[in-house]
Structure 1
Amino acid sequence: MKNLILVFSTDIKESLRSKWFLFYTLVFGGIIALFFITGVTESRVQGFSGLSRVLLIFIEICIVIVPIFILINTVRTIAADRDSNVLEYLLSFPISLKEYFFGKILGKLFSTTLPILGALALALVWSIFKSVQIPWEVFFYFILLIISVNICFLGFSFFISSLVKTQEIALAIAFFLWLFFLAFLDILLIGALIKTTANAELIYSIALVNPLQVFRIGAIVLFDPQLSVIGPASYFILDEFGKNFLMVYCLVYPILLGCIFSFIGYKIFKKKDLV
Structure 2
Amino acid sequence: MADQFSLRCWGARGSTPTPGASTLRYGGETTCFEIRAGNSLVLVDCGSGARNFGADLCKCEPVAFDLLFTHTHLDHICGLPFFKPAYDPRFEVNAWAGHFLDETSLVDIVERIMSPPIFPVAAKTLKAVNFRTFQAGDILPRNDDLVIRTVRLNHPGGACGYRFDYGGKSICIITDHEHGDPEIDANVRRFVEGADFMIYDAMFTDDEYEGYKGWGHSTWQKAVTLAREANVKVPVLFHHDPRRSDDELDEIGMAADAAYPGTLVASEGMLLKP
TM score, norm. by length of structure 1: 0.24
- Of the two structures, which has the highest relative contact order with CA contacts closer than 8 Å and spacing of 6 or more? 1
More strand by share: 2
Larger radius of gyration: 1
